[in-house]
Amino acid sequence: MKRFWMHTMGVVMSICGTAVLAPACAHDDSSFFLDAVLAPPQGATTGCVFTSDPTQPSFSFGVLDVAAEAVFANAYYAEFLAGNQLIPQANQELVMTETSRIIIQGAVVTITQADGTAIPGSESPYTAPGAGEVDPSNGGNPGYGPVEFEIVDASTITALSKQLALFERETILTYTKAFGTTLGGDHVESNTFEFPILVCNGCLIEFDTDTTREPQPNCFGPLPTTSGGQAPCYFGQDVSFDCHACNATSSVCECGQTTPCTLVAPDAGK
């Protein structure tokens, strides 16, 4: 899938490079742009629903727990707020339909270490499929719409997992350039959005503690009856979560270690 998308993008970009004067290939950061990475809704009753509201909270950086992601999605997903400043073309009197709406098709993602060098074992760059649409501007105000892309893939998470010991962390940089077409058939590309991510090994997993001895990570106890708040939209990224969410499949989630826990009896209420 990644090779197919990269091949497709290569063909499109080569066509655009040779047809400099053709309006069907537009790379204009001010017309189509990625504005922000949206923060998950807090306390929402409708679940993890992102909107086109440009005033909703956003992240300046992300947090990725490779130990948790190995149990869950094994990827980092970012919900971007995309903007469209193309001028509307619809005109009922002239029987003209709207052609400036942008249909987002995907994004090219590049991942590096904090110093800009490649991450050994990562398959970056790659093309991440995506789907969304952004209305044209209205009275000088851009149109906005949310779109989700996988900006850290499984190969990168596996590579980082091999580098980080338990509770170690490092920063990586992600670069995302979205692409799509207008309803008029023009190919459009966004700006390249840089988004730093703090990568850690086990830092987002919340544990109980064994108070009968020296405090130790413990997830053998029963699931707490009191609610700990809304569940994360994406387990293993940005928001901490209760270790009970994965204690049946991961020794890391059970004990905070990479080996089975020996300090707490397995039958202690599990």
The reported pTM is: 0.77
Q: Is the dihedral of CA 27, 183, 143, 194 positive or negative?
A: negative
Three-class secondary structure of residue 5 per DSSP: helix
Q: Give yes or no for a cis peptide into 125 (omega within 30° of 0).
A: yes
Q: Which two tokens stand for residue 268?
A: 């202690």
Please tell me the distance from the alpha carbon of residue 119 to that of residue 113, in angstroms, as a whole number: 6
Q: Are strands 126-134 and 62-65 parallel, antiparallel or unpaired?
A: unpaired
Q: Above 80 in pLDDT, residue 251? A: no
pLDDT tens-digit series, residues 125-182: 999 999 999 999 988 899 999 999 999 999 999 999 999 988 899 999 999 999 999 9
pLDDT tens-digit series, residues 201-228: 888 887 765 555 444 566 665 555 554 5
Q: Above 80 in pLDDT, residue 1? A: no
Mean pLDDT of the chain: 78
Cβ 143 vs Cβ 134: under 8 Å: yes
pLDDT at 150: 97
